[in-house]
Amino acid sequence: MSFRKKIVVWAIVLGGAYFLLSYHIIFFGKHPILLKKSHLTLNYTFFSVQKKPNKEILAIHDLRKDGIADLLVQEGRMTEEQRDLFMQQYDDTGNSD
């Protein structure tokens, strides 16, 4: 393999790794939606909301911090009022870190 091909392969591999560190891939049924992470991590890189109640989803601090509540509203899984109640609940109990 030539030097240029090695550079291209490494660029693709490193770019893919950076992408996985930078985005949550949230599955709503069969279609995935990208959600930007607030910091580079592999935690919850792939996450399915299928068959999970909203309370369980919003209990995950990293996802809540990165804006999954807005995504649930956008996808019709909850109303804005429900989102506000859940978010207030986590702010009041000190779970918002």
The pLDDT tens digits for 16-73 are 999 999 999 999 988 999 999 999 999 999 999 999 999 999 999 999 999 999 999 9
Using pLDDT thresholds of 50, 70 and 90, give the confidence band for residue 96.
Answer: very low
Cα–Cα distance measured from residue 38 to residue 53, given in angstroms and rounded to the nearest whole number: 23
In a domain, 77, yes or no: yes
**Domain coverage including residue 57:** 3-92
Write out the DSSP string of the chain.
Answer: --HHHHHHHHHHHHHHHHHHHHEEEEEETTEEEEEE-SS---TTSEEE-TT--HHHHHT-HHHHHHTHHHHHHHTTSS-HHHHHHHHHHHHHTTTT-
**5, pLDDT greater than 90:** yes
Q: How many domains are contained in the chain?
A: 1
In a domain, 23, yes or no: yes
In a domain, 97, yes or no: no
In a domain, 53, yes or no: yes
pTM, full prediction: 0.83
CA 48, 58, 44, 21 torsion-angle sign? positive
